Structure 1
């Protein structure tokens, strides 16, 4: 008599991998433990062995995103020959690129608490590069966290303006915005710079922060 096959053991890695895949399909607002359970063909309570709530799951999703974006590397490619400016810029560009790879990636990453310790090595290397260049530790922390929060906020706004097939909102119309704000011409024209040309806007904002840090702290 054939024996009943045992269901494969469900682990945290499976849950997180599935959650990140579904994130690109339904977005953060559509993602739920119930949806993930259905995708894994298990009952929702099976997930609660690993994550008590969605907040805990998001912490682990952000941690896995970090692992994937760094690929186990402490340094960005070519970091050995970079100045602190080049290094800070490269790290910020890499973070933005990684967040954009996931729908609502910036919202997932914002406010989460990384569950691993992998980020410690990268943070140590970045702070060491800045302190070796003349920043105090506090200044290095202020500079790097300011850039980090700029990237998160920028990408959150950038992704927030995207329209997806399951989005009830129409695509954002910069021309229509300008028409509605015709009584305030500078505000009307600003839409072109705020809602278009995200790559150029990101680079300019990042340069402002990097050069601003250099000027404020008197670092070459």
Structure 2
């Protein structure tokens, strides 16, 4: 079953969730899948099919065409970025210092980490 054919009869929200989950799984299927995907301007039938299916489901959920496209792109970009982090977080076993914190890579709270980072970078501002 392809990413675009996921639960075509489901309600819009469930279809969007299933499509994004399937996209994530498709990226995870390939070593560095997110990096390869992010490094290209993909306009093939799979990418356009996914975007079209997401836009269609979002339109059915009440979004206008532009808002649906923007939401679809945000979901795809978020998924790609998340998988980039997920795939980068594996394989640290070969590096002694990373193997000590390997599990933390998959359980850390990225929002908290972001907040700590921006606070650290702005400590010299008053």
Task: Report the TM-score, using the length of structure 2 for normalisation.
Answer: 0.68
Match of 1:196 among 92, 106, 110: 106
Q: Distance in 1 between matches of 2:61 and 2:89?
A: 38
The alpha-carbon distance between structure 1 residues 140 and 110, as it changes in their structure 2 partners (threshold 3 A), is same
Give the superposed CA RMSD.
2.9
CA distance in structure 2 between the aligned counterparts of 1:79 and 1:137, rounded to whole angstroms: 19
Counterparts of 1:107 and 1:113 in 2: how far apart (Å)? 12
Name the structure 2 match of 1:159.
87
Unpaired runs of at least 5, structure 1: 1-68, 176-190, 202-220
Over alpha carbons, which structure has the higher Rg? 1
Indicate if the aligned counterparts of 2:24 and 2:83 stay in contact, CA closer than 8 A. yes
- Ranges in structure 2 where 5+ consecutive residues have no aligned partner: 110-126
- State which of 20, 25, 39 in structure 2 corresponds to 1:97: 25
Q: Which one of the candidate residues 41, 53, 75 is aligned to 2:5?
A: 75
> How much does 1:172 deviate?
3.8
Moved over 6 A (4+): none
- 2:11 aligned with 1:87: no
Q: Tell me whether 1:173 sits opposite 2:93 in the alignment.
A: no
CA contact (8 A) 1:75 1:122 kept: no
